[in-house]
A and B are shown apart, each in its own frame.
Chain A
Amino acid sequence: MKTDSADAAISIENVSKTFGATRAVRQLNLQVPSGSLCGFLGPNGAGKSTTIRMIMSIIYPDVGTVKVLGGSALKAKDRIGYLPEERGIYRKMRVGEFLRYIGQLKGLRGADLSNRVSDWLERIGLPHVVRKRCHELSKGMQQKVQFLAALIHDPELLILDEPFSGLDPVNAALMVQIIHDLHRDGRTIIFSTHVLHQAEQLCERIFLINHGVKLLDATLDEIRAEYDPRTIVARPMNGTVDLTQFDGVQEVVPSSDQRGYEIHVRENTDPARLMQDMVAACPMRSIELRQLTLDEVFVQLVMKDEGEAAARKAREELTAA
């Protein structure tokens, strides 16, 4: 799916950025459709935060153009919410005062601002902390307050840099819920993460970059269609059955949970037909065509682009993350 730059909430064209000898971003082109929920993915050091800082006009590209909400982010700062990767907070400030201050910097005033602060604190389950100083909060609470600071002014565009980093599952789920709600209300949301499966669960569109170069720019459906899965996960009723006997089977290995087998299908074989043959020949507890994860897509892309060694390294990085 291609997005016309006129309809894009964010339009990045031929952007490059270098820090000393490090080329952080190279010839990057991106179009983030208005109203979309996009994941900006890549391993650590891929260039995600640099790109986001250029989108926010905190730093500027060496070459290329960045348009946000139709113009420069400098003129649209009040319409953008931003949660940086490195969370910032005034430790000695009271929570309510901190949120009001950020709201003021985003152009809000008066009773409306105070109401928003109390409403949002209520919504994230922290109405009692409004008079507390920020350093008195737990780390999880501080992260929620920082998240509120990014959206207190009800932005049209929300940019979240590693929003789930360090969050416990309960708070992560709350944040996911809020992101979904905002998206339903028509906000454009882009978030970066190096944990690819998080994006897989949340996003409708994925941008994947590595070493400052874009590897992938597509919707999840497009990715699934393009990267056709060729692995069947089967759990036969009879554990001794020989699955290699079927035509089209390239390799059979025990599944990672040791409760079945992963069957790799040859290139010229239809996985659906092979599954039918297997079910007809031997009773199965379960059999399914495994969905390709973004991690696997990423590794495949790296292998295609940079070779086996780079792919192995990318796989290790993803495992470590």
Chain B
Amino acid sequence: MTKILAVAWREFKHTALTKAFIIGTIIFPLLIWGGMILVPLLFKPTISTVDDTLAIVDPTGEVIDAARIEFNPDLFRLPDTRERAAQAQDMDPSELLAEAERGGGLVGSVQLNIEIEPHESDDDVEILRNRVREGDLIGVVVITDNAFDGTARDGVTLFVATQANPDHISAIQRTLGKAVVRARAERAELDVEHMQAMMQPPRLNTRRLTEDGEAAAGIEFQKALPMVFMILLWICAFASGNYLLTSTIEEKSNKVMEVLLSAISPMQLMAGKIFGQAIVGLFTISVYSALGVAALVYFAMADFIEPAMILYLVMYFFMAYFMVAAIMAAIGSAVSDLQEAHSLVTPAMLVLFVPMILFVPVSQSPNGILAVVTSYIPVLTPFVMILRVTSAEAIPLIQILTATAVGFLGVFIMVWMAARIFRIGVLMTGKPPSPMELLKWLRYS
């Protein structure tokens, strides 16, 4: 046992206590989180200002009046901004102003400083269209009576130049649409402002009742939680499995394998290596979990995480890790360098990527047939089960117990097979074996 521990400690030390690991495992996620803060700043919306003239041919003059209001640059920032401002009834005026100054927080914001050029006769349409082509006008709008018919979809035609900026046109279209709606409402003698306010759906303030009081609902986070757990499990299991693969190949290519085997048996060596990398994986998952929990505490959402979830995470991590480690140890022992390993790792990776495809259907229906069936396929069990047990739906206890038992039985079989391949593979040199040859090795006594 002490020899296994010596091998395990070397594996841990030369994996986890290196600059590359510290940068990759600890600093890199922090950089990603930092990036999540930095990226919105980098992509802070810039306001694109349009100073131009829009001709409106409106025999009634009603849409022109409405357009003067809707296109008023003092009121207008973005169509969305006004909508959001109307919704944000609990925001004070300074917040609204700040919101408006930020361009509504949207990429590609447009500030319209449009001067309306009114035309009541449609005789000038062709002249105006030519002015648009020459760039004298940003566009010309032709209004007919149909524009006032709420059931008609036509009645408003906007002519723009071929080279017109689509964002600008889009902003004009939306504002023009509002102007037509305003004109219709005024013709029907309705209070437009009141009507618009009444049409806004309320902003629901959903609160979760906790044991001690209440907290923010965090529905989106709750939906994403299973995926967070599964990705964490997947990354940690695969990272450790990959370290195991490379360290085994290194020992073969460095020819140190025979020195080691003169001191310990292949089984002791494999056990020590797998155990050492398991500690690396557990260390990684602990670091990530601690950072995650710290973030949840900061955002007052820690109560989403139940202690049982952490236990499941650790249990399914070991299941996933031993499954991956058995595969990687077997492959690492059978090849002489990383290049040779690729041909054997690729089919294994294809299978182990399946959980990524299963994420959406299993998350949407944690008790559906697909979720239940895939829970009993050992290579998928840990990933599917962590998705299920961390979802909001209750999973039958019997399914948790039986799927977990099947998963660990699969782990036992995989480790047994890997051990048989490992003890032969570590001494093999030359051409790497084919998958069929690996299967033959299983039969060797």
Residues of A within 8 A of B (CB): 53, 56, 58-59, 74, 77-78, 80, 82, 84, 86-93, 101-102, 104-107, 146, 149
Q: Which 5 pairs between the two chains have the least Cβ-Cβ distance?
A: A88-B256, A105-B263, A82-B262, A88-B255, A84-B258
**Contact in complex: B262, A84 (CB < 8 Å):** yes
Q: Contacts A88-B254, A88-B255, A149-B259 known; A58 to B427 CB distance under 8 Å?
A: yes
Instruction: Note all chain B residues with C-beta closer than 8 A to A74.
Output: 265
Closest chain A CB from B247 CB (angstroms): 10
Contact check: which of B7, B14, B255, B257 meets A105 at CB < 8 Å? Answer: B7
Chain B positions near chain A (C-beta within 8 angstroms): 2-3, 6-7, 10, 14, 250-251, 254-265, 427
Q: Are B259 and A102 in contact (CB under 8 A)?
A: yes
A-B contact pairs, 25 of them (CB 8 A): A53-B258, A56-B261, A58-B258, A58-B261, A82-B259, A84-B255, A84-B259, A87-B255, A88-B251, A88-B254, A88-B256, A88-B258, A88-B259, A88-B260, A89-B254, A89-B255, A89-B256, A90-B256, A101-B10, A102-B259, A104-B2, A104-B3, A105-B260, A107-B3, A149-B259
* Cβ–Cβ < 8 Å partners of A53 in chain B: 258, 427
Which residues of chain A have C-beta atoms less than 8 A from B427's C-beta? 53, 58-59
Q: In the bound complex, how far is the Cα of B261 from the Cα of A101, in angstroms?
A: 13
Residue contact A56 to B262, C-beta cutoff 8 Å: yes
Most chain B CB atoms below 10 A, which of A80, A89, A104, A106:
A104
B255 — which chain A residues lie within 8 A by C-beta?
84, 86-89
Interface centre among B3, B251, B261, B265, by most chain A C-beta atoms within 10 angstroms, is B261
List of B residues within 8 angstroms of A102 by Cβ:
259, 263
Q: Are A80 and B262 in contact (CB under 8 A)?
A: yes
Nearest CB on B from A183, distance (A) = 20
User: With A and B bound together, what is the CA distance between A53 and B428 in angstroms?
Assistant: 13
Q: How far is the CB of B108 from chain A (nearest CB, A)?
A: 51
How long is the Cα–Cα vector from A89 to B258 in the complex, in angstroms? 10
Q: Which residue of B has the minimal Cβ distance to A101?
A: B10
Central interface residue in B254, B255, B259, by most chain A CB within 10 Å: B259
Min CB–CB distance A73 → chain B (angstroms): 9
Bound Cα distance A220, B66 (Å): 118
- Give the chain B neighbours of A89 by CB distance below 8 A: 254-256, 259
Among B6, B7, B14, B263, the residue within 8 A (CB) of A92 is B14
Measured CA separation A182–B263 after assembly (Å): 20
CA–CA, A104 and B264, complex, Å: 11
| A-side contacts of B6, CB under 8 Å | 101, 104-105
Complex CA gap A107/B255 in Å reads: 22
B3 contacts across to A, CB distance below 8 A: 104-105, 107
With the chains together, A214 CA to B3 CA distance in Å? 36
Interfacial chain A residues near B258, Cβ < 8 Å: 53, 58, 82, 84, 86, 88
A212 to B376, CA, bound (A): 51
A84 to B427, CA, bound (A): 12
How far does the alpha carbon of A310 sit from the alpha carbon of B46 in the complex, in Å?
88
Residues of A within 8 A of B261 (CB): 56, 58
Residues in B with CB closer than 8 Å to A77 are: 262-264
Q: Which A residue's beta carbon lies closest to that of B264?
A: A105
For A59, list chain B residues within 8 Å (CB). 427
Task: Give the nearest-CB partner of A100 in chain B.
Answer: B6
B250: chain A residues within 8 A (beta carbon): 90
Measured CA separation A89–B2 after assembly (Å): 21
Most buried by A among B250, B258, B427: B258
Q: Which of B14, B250, B263, B265 has the most CB of A within 10 A?
A: B263
Once the chains are docked, how many angstroms separate the CA of A82 from the CA of B258?
9
Output the nearest chain A residue to B3 by Cβ-Cβ distance: A105
- Say how far A34's CB is from chain B's closest CB, in angstroms: 20
Whole-angstrom CA separation of A91 from B254 in the bound complex: 8
Q: Are A106 and B256 in contact (CB under 8 A)?
A: no
Q: Which of A91, A101, A105, A106 has the most CB of B within 10 A?
A: A105
**Most A CB atoms within 10 A — which of B250, B259, B262, B264?**
B262
Interface centre among B3, B256, B264 (most CB of A within 10 A): B256
Docked complex Cα distance between A1 and B320 (Å):
60
- Interchain nearest-CB distance for A44 vs B (Å): 16
CB-CB nearest in chain A for B268: A105
Residues of chain A contacted by B263 (CB below 8 angstroms): 77-78, 102, 105-106
Given contact pairs A82-B259, A102-B263, A105-B263, enumerate 10 new A-B contacts (beta carbons under 8 Å): A80-B262, A84-B255, A88-B256, A88-B258, A89-B254, A89-B255, A90-B251, A90-B256, A93-B14, A104-B3
Min CB–CB distance A98 → chain B (angstroms): 9
Quote the shortest CB–CB distance from A211 to chain B (angstroms). Answer: 21
Count chain B CB atoms within 10 A of each CB in A53, A89, A101 and give the residue with the most. Answer: A101
A87 to B256 Cα, complex, angstroms: 7
Complex interface: chain B residues within 8 A of A104 (CB): 2-3, 6
Residues of B within 8 A of A88 (CB): 251, 254-260
Instruction: Give chain B residues whose Cβ lies under 8 Å from the Cβ of A107.
Output: 2-3
Contact of A90 among B7, B254, B264, B265 (CB under 8 A): B254
Q: Nearest chain B CB to A20's CB is how many angstroms away?
A: 12
Chain A residues, Cβ within 8 Å of B262: 56, 58, 77, 80, 82, 84
Contact residues in B for A90 (Cβ distance below 8 Å): 250-251, 254, 256
Of the listed residues B250, B254, B427, the one surrounded by the most CB atoms of chain A closer than 10 A to its CB is B254
The CA of A59 and the CA of B262, in the complex, are separated in Å by 11
B256: A residues at CB distance < 8 A: 88-90
Smallest CB-CB separation from A74: which chain B residue?
Answer: B265
**Bound-complex Cα distance A107 to B263 (A):** 9
Question: In whole angstroms, what is the CA distance A149 to B259 when docked?
Answer: 8
Instruction: Determine how close the nearest CB of chain A comes to the CB of B195; give it in whole angstroms.
Output: 75
Which chain B positions have C-beta within 8 A of A92? 14
Of chain A, the residue at the smallest CB distance from B445 is: A60
Q: List A contacts of B254 (CB < 8 A).
A: 88-91
Complex: A104 Cα to B3 Cα, angstroms:
7
* Least CB separation from A88: chain B residue: B256
A80 to B264 alpha-carbon distance, docked (Å): 12
In angstroms, Cα B90 to Cα A170, docked, is: 89
Looking at the assembled complex, report how far the CB atom of B267 sits from the nearest CB atom of chain A, in whole angstroms: 11
Q: Which residue of B lies closest to A56 (CB)?
A: B262
Distance, CA A89 to CA B265, complexed state (A):
18
Min Cβ gap A69→B in Å is 14
In whole angstroms, what is the CA distance A107 to B264 when docked?
10
- Complex-state Cα separation, A104 to B259, whole angstroms: 13
Q: Could you tell me the distance in whole angstroms from the C-beta of B443 to the nearest C-beta in chain A? A: 15
Across-interface contacts of B257 in A (CB, < 8 A): 88
